[in-house]
Amino acid sequence: MTNNFTERAGIYVHIPFCKRKCNYCDFKSFPYPERSEEYFNALKKEILNTDAVCKTIDTVYFGGGTPSFVDERYIVDVFNLLRNKFDFDLSEATIEANPESITKSKLLAYKSAGFDRLSIGVQSLSDDVLKFLGRVHDSDMAKSAVKTALEFFDNVSCDIMLVGQSAESVAKDIEYLSASGVKHLSCYMLQIEEGTPFYDRYIKNDIKLPTDDELADLFSFAIAKLKSLGYKRYEVSNFCKRGYEAKHNLGYWVRKPYYGFGLSAHSLIGNERYGNQSAFDEYVSDPLKREFKEVLSESDIELEKIMLALRTSHGVLKEEILNKPDFYDKYKNYFYIKGDRISLNDKGFMIMNKILVDLFQ
């Protein structure tokens, strides 16, 4: 990796604290609020000792875990440290929050620090679905959190999870969030990940789950509903009103450089990717130690560019696909061509993994 790399970059900061781990969650998070001081001291040490190869930062994203679970002074302190360490020319600064820990004082602190976008883990406005998922909040709490957030932030995003609930329930959730003024929605199908409570119940046949086809049908319904309300699908799982794409996340899909700070966070600088320690005690004892590091070849980078770009509605130059005539003939009904670009259509996104496997064989 060269040291004269000057491209703009994004920053991701991982806050690994949650009140309780949800049934489906495989993210690195811990119910250790009493260890906040210890963790944030390690986080600041990592930031201060990172070589700022990419000096100018244009997007920041605080994720988790639940960043809103910890005292807001920790968040503000780290944000200010980053501002002093790097040259900020921000087009977007996002922080994730869960309904049960959103307060007006926290939102005011986030906004005053420089955050301009809030991402709320709503998941559902059905109490039955929330209970099934193991969420801490209920429907009324979620609605109140969305209303409060919109008093402070124009740019609010909400997550929706499809778990096999009725189409009517999904429609009501989307309609409510749209009418409330939410500009961005992320819609995900439930996936059972190893190591989660759902996985343990799944292998014991102790949980009833929808089939893949049932979830796909529900997702297709959600897509149509979102589009009917003016939300554009710009990435596999992300929908927004015009001009409200998540700029930080788009950076991942175009391989923009990014620093990842905190437990289990990954970074991509130049042709080098590395990841931090994923065990809590190991990270806080030595936040500068990497769990892995790899140097990417030019061919690796070109393959990644195509794979990541095909996750988005912008797609790739059509020559990248049309120069493989056998492949294109097989999947032409799953692509959309506009000008010199080609991208997956809604049917293509549904089988994206299969298409990518065939493309790179």
Within a domain: 261: no
Over residues 187-212, mean pLDDT: 81
Residues in a beta bridge with 150: none
* Residue 3 binned pLDDT confidence (cut-offs 50, 70, 90): very low
* Residue 182 binned pLDDT confidence (cut-offs 50, 70, 90): very high
**Higher per-residue pLDDT: 23 or 84:** 84
Within a domain: 273: no
Over residues 189-205, mean pLDDT: 79
Q: Are 101 and 169 members of one domain?
A: yes
Q: Are 210 and 359 members of one domain?
A: no
Q: Are 322 and 208 members of one domain?
A: no
Over residues 271-278, mean pLDDT: 96
pLDDT at site 1: 37
* Residue 203 binned pLDDT confidence (cut-offs 50, 70, 90): confident
pLDDT for residue 276 is more than 90: yes
* Residue 6 binned pLDDT confidence (cut-offs 50, 70, 90): low
pLDDT at site 271: 93
Positive or negative, the CA dihedral 305, 307, 312, 317 is positive
Q: Are 238 and 309 members of one domain?
A: no
pLDDT for residue 332 is more than 70: yes
> What is the rounded average pLDDT for all residues in the chain?
93
Q: Which of 191, 219, 253 is at the close of a domain?
A: 253
Kindly list the distances between the CA atom of residue 285 and the CA atoms of 44, 249, 277, in Å, as whole numbers in the listed order.
13, 30, 10
Closest among 113, 70, 73, 81 to 94, alpha carbons compared: 113
CATH of the domain at 172: 3.20.20.70
Q: Which of 212, 229, 253 is at the close of a domain?
A: 253
Cβ contact 234:344 at 8 Å: no
**Higher per-residue pLDDT: 26 or 12:** 12
Within 10 angstroms of residue 298's Cβ, the number of other Cβ atoms is 8
* Residue 359 binned pLDDT confidence (cut-offs 50, 70, 90): very high
Within a domain: 81: yes
pLDDT for residue 319 is more than 60: yes
Within a domain: 275: no
Cβ contact 293:327 at 8 Å: no
Within a domain: 223: yes
Within a domain: 268: no
**Which tokens go with 72?**
């807001």
Reported as type and span, the H/E element at residue 87 is strand 87-97
pLDDT for residue 5 is more than 90: no
Residue 286 falls in which region: left (phi positive, over 0), alpha (psi -120 to 50) or beta: beta
pLDDT for residue 246 is more than 80: yes
pLDDT at site 54: 84
Q: Are 45 and 151 members of one domain?
A: yes
Q: Which of 226, 253, 280 is at the close of a domain?
A: 253
Within a domain: 263: no
3-class secondary structure, 44: helix
pLDDT for residue 334 is more than 50: yes
* Residue 200 binned pLDDT confidence (cut-offs 50, 70, 90): confident
pLDDT for residue 288 is more than 60: yes
Q: Are 236 and 311 members of one domain?
A: no
**Which tokens go with 245?**
């794409």
Sheet-wide strand order for 87-97: 232-235, 238-240, 184-189, 155-162, 117-123, 87-97, 56-64, 9-15, 258-261, 266-269, 272-276, 290-295
Within a domain: 215: yes
Output Rg (C-alpha) for the chain, integer angstroms: 21
Residue 264 falls in which region: left (phi positive, over 0), alpha (psi -120 to 50) or beta: left
Q: Are 241 and 311 members of one domain?
A: no
- Rounded Cα gap, residues 274 and 214, in angstroms: 38
Over residues 317-329, mean pLDDT: 95
Q: Are 38 and 105 members of one domain?
A: yes
- Rounded Cα gap, residues 151 and 146, in angstroms: 9
Over residues 126-151, mean pLDDT: 96
Cβ contact 151:102 at 8 Å: no
Domains contained in the chain, number? 2
pLDDT for residue 4 is more than 50: no
Q: Are 46 and 137 members of one domain?
A: yes
pLDDT for residue 196 is more than 90: no
Q: Are 50 and 190 members of one domain?
A: yes
Q: Which domain holds residue 114?
A: 9-253
pTM of the model as a whole: 0.94
Over residues 234-247, mean pLDDT: 98
Q: Are 202 and 333 members of one domain?
A: no
Over residues 283-309, mean pLDDT: 95
Q: Are 249 and 308 members of one domain?
A: no
